[in-house]
Amino acid sequence: MKVAYLTAGAAGMYCGSCLRDNTIAKAMRKQGVDVQLLPTYTPIRTDEEDASHAEVFFGGVNVFLQQKFPLFRYLPKWLDGILDRPGFIRWATKRSSSIDAKQLGGLTLSMLQGSRGFQRKEVIRLCDWFASHFQPDVINFTNFLIGGCIPDLTHRFGSKIVVTLQGDDIFLESLPEKYRLQCIAEMQRLDQDVDAYLVFSEYYRDFMVDYLKLPVGKFRIVPLGIDPADFLDIRLHHVVDQLSPFKHDLPTIGYMARLAHEKGLHILIDAYLHLRQELKVDAKLLFAGWLGAHNQAYVDAEFAKLRQAGFENDFAYLGTVDRQQKTDFMNRIDVLSVPTVYREPKGLFVLEAMAAAIPVVQPEHGAFGELISATRGGLLCQPNDPIDLAKQLERILTDHHLRHQLAQQGRAAVLNAFHSDTAAERTIRVFRELLRMPT
């Protein structure tokens, strides 16, 4: 079986979708599938071994220039090649992650229009590459917003088309209504050439069926998966020992995600203040994750609240962390919480924490409810409620037996049901069913 994965790079950021796509591609290769992981827009950034193809399709610089300036729609291939070099794209797009999505409505619509849009030349280039290098049985788009080329690929190669939905609605909701409605209409048009949609939870299946008005019969639920190997060296530190129940002198609450309003940084900080000032539980805070320039003022204001309350020495921000730094981070915390404002469709950081034997506290919305129910590796709190979040953190930090139980249950569940090998096997099964191959 030959499978092509098309994934969208995130302009130099660690992106949950890129991390997941890279991990699943590697796991499928281990199981004998011929996989090509093809980056679009920008090269992907992953904290594991990069399994993606060196060439970038629909290069971010090129598609932007073709959108804005008609001349660039007719450049010769050798000039396109310069603009699509991965190093040049990295340099040119390193600040693009701070661009307001409201400015990208026209480009998003044009990309969804495929060969009818301003990036027609890029659609032809992708089709020609497949024709000469790799003719796949299945083409899996891991972002529907790059799916405008689906009809051309279907008609030219007859491949089965699969779309993984893992947050497309979040970007669509950031667009002006005019463009959002037009983009959704284009996605509904593309549906006629899509054979299946993959999601990681019943919640997100039901939500996207309603949001995009797609046929529920095309949806398949596959498990989210991670490679837990690096986290297994982290010992079960939540020992039931009244003399030393924590790793350090004070328990530490961790936050590992982009530092942004939508990720709920302010909710966690307000919960921490309540935990310390009202519930009288001593603890530290440790933050890790990418901080964009557009969020600097927001983060400065939130950190100022901690300093003004007298907790300047009780929190630290580690910046963006790579794989080794991530495991070091896990070794320094006792519970993790990323209380997102939006309804999260994945939650990779939840599985990573559990693999490291760290319990989590997450809001009871999006995919978190199903993840916590399936793993029993954490507690749920009311969404957007810092007081209830503080109460659940207090439960974990003051009940050593509970913390140890959640840690053991979470790690076991990741190894048994949310391992990348399991996710790959289940995904391969879907592909085989579409191809009418024996499973």
Beta-ladder partners of 59: 41
How would DSSP label each residue in 94-147?
TTGGGS-GGGGHHHHHHHHTGGGSTTHHHHHHHHHHHHHH---SEEEES-GGGG
Annotation: CATH topology of 2-226+420-434:
Rossmann fold (3.40.50)
What is the predicted pLDDT for the residue at 75? 75
- Cα–Cα distance for residue pair 104/109, rounded to 1 Å: 9
Instruction: Decide if 162 contacts 190 (C-beta within 8 A).
Output: no
**What is the percent of the chain where pLDDT is above 70?**
89
First to last CA, the chain: 12
| Tokens, residue 339 | 């209380």
What letter does residue 36 receive in the DSSP assignment? E
Is the pLDDT assigned to residue 342 strictly greater than 60? yes
Residue 238's pLDDT band, with cuts at 50, 70 and 90, is very low
**What is the Rg, in whole angstroms, of the alpha carbon atoms belonging to the chain?**
22
Q: pLDDT grade, residue 49 (50/70/90)?
A: confident
Q: What is the DSSP string of 364-421?
A: SSTTHHHHHHHH--EEEE-TT-HHHHHHHHHHHHH-HHHHHHHHHHHHHHHHHHSBHH
Least confident of 33-47, 81-95, 252-266: 81-95
Query: Residue 71 and residue 118: Cα distance in Å, rounded?
Result: 11
Q: How far is CA 359 from CA 143, 286, 346, 398, in A?
A: 30, 15, 17, 13
Higher pLDDT, 51 or 162: 162
In this structure, of 55-64, 111-120, 196-205, 228-237, the range with the lowest mean pLDDT score is 228-237
Q: Does domain 229-417 have CATH number 3.40.50.2000?
A: yes
Mean pLDDT of 59-77: 77
Reference 225, options 38, 62, 351; nearest CA is 351
Amino acid identity for residue 86 in this structure: P
Same fold, 2-226+420-434 and 229-417: yes
User: Quick one: pLDDT band at residue 48, thresholds 50, 70, 90?
Assistant: confident
Domain boundaries, given as residue ranges, for the chain: 2-226+420-434, 229-417
Lowest-confidence range among 30-39, 62-71, 285-294?
Answer: 62-71
- The per-residue pLDDT for 235 is 60
> Over the stretch 263-304, which tens digit does the pLDDT of each residue have?
999 999 999 999 999 999 999 999 999 998 999 999 999 999
Q: How confident is the model at residue 52 (pLDDT cuts 50, 70, 90)?
A: confident
Tokens coding 287: 């933050």
pLDDT at 357 over 80: yes
d(CA 385, CA 367): 18
